[in-house]
């Protein structure tokens, strides 16, 4: 937990934060409305004896109350009615708010939880380009797309920083999600070794990749379109600093985020660096606030 001490100045009730980080993460599933309605999926869960409670902010997100029941071990999951997905991981697609018939890019899509959620929010109508640069992770992306019946997905293997639209018959997206590769500090409840090998040098290194991907997402999205940037980490170097850089480099601006979850605003200063004041419109989700993992989410609109 020592690397997390650097965040003491920016996190309210830091001791509660540390205590939450040390607790196991609740098991959560997302109802996949491509395969079944919310009513049908929850009815089958009850028939199977799976105990759950719906998240107050999103009825399609279900917390399994039986610790012995893994999110992927049920017949309902095998049939694609549900998908095991950490609760705050379901936030970025909701903030993106994709609509049926749109063209959406998930720049870093594997293993496919958010990409298939995007397809479900679009009623599986439109095009979701699910890209990942890691060839080894594409098999899990394809598997989840097939299991969940997300026929709107087109899987691509490119470096998102230089993503090319040449294989497609369109030249821009309506929306884009950049759930960027990061230091994963916010996953410590699920991965206790997440902080092994942690270093500030790594934060700076990965932030360069994040800046390149977010810039490309803005460039590839139409005027008036939406780009959502998210990470599962707490480091301002990977969050506000990345968005601040892209706000200066590209024609875009920050939008307010409305979500019925306890959260903290984005920060505008860190260790001598200052960021765009509008970064307070971003949100920081800490483990102690909603008994979840940690996430950062920012919503950008392309154009002045």
Amino acid 137: pLDDT: 92
Digit-coded pLDDT (tens) for 75-95: 899 899 999 999 999 999 999
153 three-state secondary structure:
strand
3-class secondary structure, 250:
coil
- Where exactly does CATH 3.40.50.150 map onto the chain? 2-25+86-302
CB 202 within 8 A of CB 183: yes
Q: Quote the CA–CA distance of 158 and 187 in Å, as a whole number.
A: 26
Q: Other C-beta atoms within 10 Å of 224: how many?
A: 9
| Residues of the chain below pLDDT 70 | 67-70
CB count in 10 Å sphere of residue 241 = 20
32: DSSP letter: -
Q: Regarding the domain delimited by 26-85, which CATH topology (the fold level of the hierarchy) does it fall under?
A: Alpha-Beta Plaits (3.30.70)
Q: Please calculate the CA angle 81-86-92 and round it to the nearest 5 degrees.
A: 95
Q: With contact defined as beta carbons under 8 Å apart, do 293 and 231 qualify?
A: no
What's the pTM value of the predicted model, to 2 decimals? 0.97
Contacts of 262 (CB under 8 A, 6+ apart): 289, 290
Identify the CATH number of the domain defined by range 2-25+86-302.
3.40.50.150
pLDDT at 304: 82
* Phi, psi angles (nearest 5°) of residue 210: -60, -40
Radius of gyration of the chain (CA): 19
Instruction: Work out the angle between the directed axes of helices 113-121 and 138-148 (0-180°, nearest 10).
Output: 30
Residue 68: predicted pLDDT: 56
- Which residues are CB-contacts of 106 (< 8 A; sequence separation ≥ 6)? 114, 115, 118, 128, 129, 130, 131, 176, 177, 179
**DSSP classification of residue 261:** S
Q: Where, residue-wise, is CATH 3.30.70.1170 in the chain?
A: 26-85
- Using DSSP's 3-state secondary structure scheme, residue 263 falls into coil
Residues serving a catalytic function are 232
């Amino acid at each position: 937990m020592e690397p997390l001490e650097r965040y003491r100045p920016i996190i309210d009730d830091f001791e509660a934060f540390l205590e939450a980080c040390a607790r196991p993460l609740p098991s959560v599933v997302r109802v996949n409305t491509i395969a079944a309605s919310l009513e049908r999926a929850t009815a089958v869960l009850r028939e199977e004896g799976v105990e759950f409670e719906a998240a107050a902010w999103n009825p399609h997100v279900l917390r399994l109350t039986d610790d012995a029941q893994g999110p992927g071990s049920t017949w309902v999951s095998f049939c694609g009615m549900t998908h095991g997905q950490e609760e705050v991981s379901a936030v970025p697609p909701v903030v993106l708010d994709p609509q049926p018939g749109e063209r959406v890019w998930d720049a870093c899509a594997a293993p496919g939880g958010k990409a298939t959620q995007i397809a479900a929010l679009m009623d599986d109508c439109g095009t979701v380009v699910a890209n990942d640069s890691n060839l080894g992770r594409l098999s899990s992306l394809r598997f989840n797309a097939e299991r969940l019946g997300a026929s709107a997905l087109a899987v691509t293997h490119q470096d998102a920083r230089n993503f090319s639209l040449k294989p497609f018959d369109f030249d821009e997206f309506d929306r884009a999600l950049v759930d960027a590769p990061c230091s994963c500090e916010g996953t410590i409840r699920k991965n206790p070794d997440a902080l092994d090998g942690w270093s500030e040098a790594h934060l700076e290194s990965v932030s360069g990749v994040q800046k390149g991907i977010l810039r490309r997402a803005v460039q590839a999205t139409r005027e008036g379109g939406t780009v959502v940037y998210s990470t599962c980490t707490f480091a301002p170097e990977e969050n506000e600093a990345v968005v601040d850089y892209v706000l200066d480099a590209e024609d875009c601006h920050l939008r307010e985020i409305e979500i019925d979850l306890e959260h903290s605003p984005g920060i505008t200063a860190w260790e001598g660096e200052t960021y765009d004041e509008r970064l307070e419109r971003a949100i920081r989700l800490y483990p102690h606030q909603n008994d979840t993992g940690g996430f950062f989410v920012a919503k950008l609109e392309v154009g002045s």
